[in-house]
Amino acid sequence: MIYELNNIKFNTKRKAINYVFSIIDDIGKDINSHQSVKQYIEIFDGPRFDLFIDVLKKYNNYYSLINSSVSYFIIVRYNDINYLYFMNDSNFKTKVDIQKCFSFKSKQNIVDVMFNTIKSQLIDYNDNNPKCEVCNELSEDIVIKYLLDFDSLITNFFALNNDIYIPETFRKLQKEWYFKKEDYSFKNRWYVYHKTHTHLKTLCIKCAKI
């Protein structure tokens, strides 16, 4: 199986994981002040850091992690497994198993589940706004565009609700993943947030490309 991370191909999972750890090791050395992980993300850019973030995004509590304050992160080897530790001064704060980030099936990722939860809102919007909002044409090939992108909406939602319990397992329904009944308070809060904070635009394929 070939693993691909940001256009770099690895022939084994082990090699991909080792590569990510070498990047974490490099980045970790540069961090020495009290900032939220989110601020680091904004400071460090470039393909290597993007790759690290892409992997970290598969960690289920990513969105609450990036809004929390950490001093630095280090790699800690425990029972032959390398973990990524986020530290607050000398206290351990969050432990991330990078290996697990590689084994998550994308559909079980919380972001996908959150998207499935609000899909009906997009369909409703399209039903009420069937015409392209630029050229006013009624096209079969319509895209719904977020004025503030979906990822930022999610980040803002977690920043606002940093005390909320974040579900880690989901239920499968007709090949898609959804929140479990016991997690409906999370689901409902997200559903309402999305409804009130999302600004959409209907565009035909032609206008979407401009």
Nearest residue to 62 (alpha-carbon basis) of 4, 127, 7, 110: 110
Q: How many CA atoms does the CB half-sphere of 141 hold within 13 Å? A: 6
26 or 133: whose CB is closer to Zn ion? Answer: 133
Q: How far apart are CA 125 and CA 143, in angstroms?
A: 11
Binding segment (CB under 5 A) for Zn ion, from list 3-11, 75-83, 101-109, 125-133:
125-133
Indicate whether 205 belongs to the interface with Zn ion (CB under 5 A). no
Indicate whether 202 belongs to the interface with Zn ion (CB under 5 A). no
76 or 135: whose CB is closer to Zn ion? Answer: 135
Binding segment (CB under 5 A) for Zn ion, from list 32-40, 83-91, 174-182, 201-209:
201-209
Angle between helices 150-160 and 184-197 (to 10 degrees): 120
Among 20, 55, 84, 204, binds Zn ion (CB under 5 A): 204
Indicate whether 135 belongs to the interface with Zn ion (CB under 5 A). yes
Q: Are the C-beta atoms of 85 and 24 separated by less than 8 Å?
A: no
Q: How far apart are CA 138 and CA 136, in angstroms?
A: 7
**Residue 127: CB minimum distance to Zn ion, A:** 18
Q: Please name the residues in contact with 21: beta carbons below 8 A apart, sequence gap of 6 or more.
A: 75, 82, 98
**Residue 206: CB minimum distance to Zn ion, A:** 5
Among 20, 132, 153, 154, binds Zn ion (CB under 5 A): 132
Indicate whether 134 belongs to the interface with Zn ion (CB under 5 A). yes
**Residue 183: CB minimum distance to Zn ion, A:** 39
Binding segment (CB under 5 A) for Zn ion, from list 3-11, 23-31, 96-104, 128-136:
128-136
Binding segment (CB under 5 A) for Zn ion, from list 95-103, 120-128, 178-186, 199-207:
199-207
Indicate whether 98 belongs to the interface with Zn ion (CB under 5 A). no
27 or 134: whose CB is closer to Zn ion? Answer: 134
Q: Which residues bind Zn ion (CB under 5 A)?
A: 132, 134-135, 204, 207
